[in-house]
Amino acid sequence: MDRVVAGEIADFLKARISGSVRRGAVEIANILPGKPGALSFCKYEDKTAIGIIWRSASSVIICSKKLIADPLPATKTLIYVSKPRLAFSKVANKFFVQKNFISGVHMTAIVCSLAKVAKTASIGPHCVISGNVEIGESSVIYGNVSIYGNVKIGANVIINSGAVIGAEGFGYEPDEDGTLVQFPNIGGVIIEDSVEIGANVCIDRGALGDTIIRKGAKIDNLVHVAHNVVIGKNCRIICLVGIGGSVEIGDSSFVGISASIKNQKKIGKNVVVGMGAVVTKDVPDNTIVIGNPARHFATEFPIGNSGGNEK
């Protein structure tokens, strides 16, 4: 890997720097123990950070602006930012993380002749792509993904192995004798640009409308998204979440590990659904909900109450 000098990193971040601007990094590493010739970051902002930085073997360290006045080692180059983890992520993706996807269709993949796959897209081994599917520029579909018909995938989308996109939703109406009659599933799935979908995720197609994953949303492994769900821009849905039919989740919301959301509920913008929460009611914007059933953290679990929820 090419050597990246600290001055170039600081210029990219538009950040203040101390130490040699010519000191370089050829890889990224954890702050401890660190590695000579590596770039690391320190998330702490107090005396803990000072000790960690002194002990780290890394050559270039991204750290908090709040440490500028503190004595720091001259043997390292420090780059000061407001959000070290975010800055490190940007630098790593820009200079160090190689994502060399080969565009085209793997010889073992099955792609219907009616599907429209951009020339710069990558279709991995053993994928099955049905007709009436569109896959946009620079999107990457890893191996063993199944994409049913009537699915539109935008540009720069990543779908990891084992995902199933566009299968029928789970909806049945009982007849007089108890026989279950399936509700029609004639909708589709729309996945907008820059969405990332984890391994073994299942996204059902809409019943009469579409299931929609908005631009920039990130879905972790082993998540189920039912029919007609709408997930807003830049949402983060963490592993083992179950989202019921016709749920709407507003932009920039976060749904924690193993949470469940009842069908037809509306989750607002900038909402945090806590780990394992069971959402049975609509959730307004800018709210944190936790528990089973999920309740508003600030009002129904007040800080310092006798129920032990102060943590």
Instruction: Look up residue 52 and give its amino acid.
Output: I
Backbone Cα Rg of the chain:
24
Q: Are strands 288-290 and 295-296 parallel, antiparallel or unpaired?
A: antiparallel
Whether residue 135 contacts residue 155, with contact meaning beta carbons closer than 8 Å, is answered with: no
Catalytic residue among 106, 126, 224, 227: 227
Residues 6+ apart with CB under 8 A from 207: 169, 171, 183, 184, 185, 186, 187, 227, 228, 245
Q: Other C-beta atoms within 10 Å of 298: how many?
A: 10
- Tell me how far apart the alpha carbons of residues 156 and 272 are, in angstroms, rounded to a whole number: 26
Three-point CA angle 253, 259, 265, nearest 5°: 65
Q: How far is CA 68 from the centre of its chain?
A: 32
Active site annotation includes 126:
no
Q: Catalytic amino acids?
A: 227
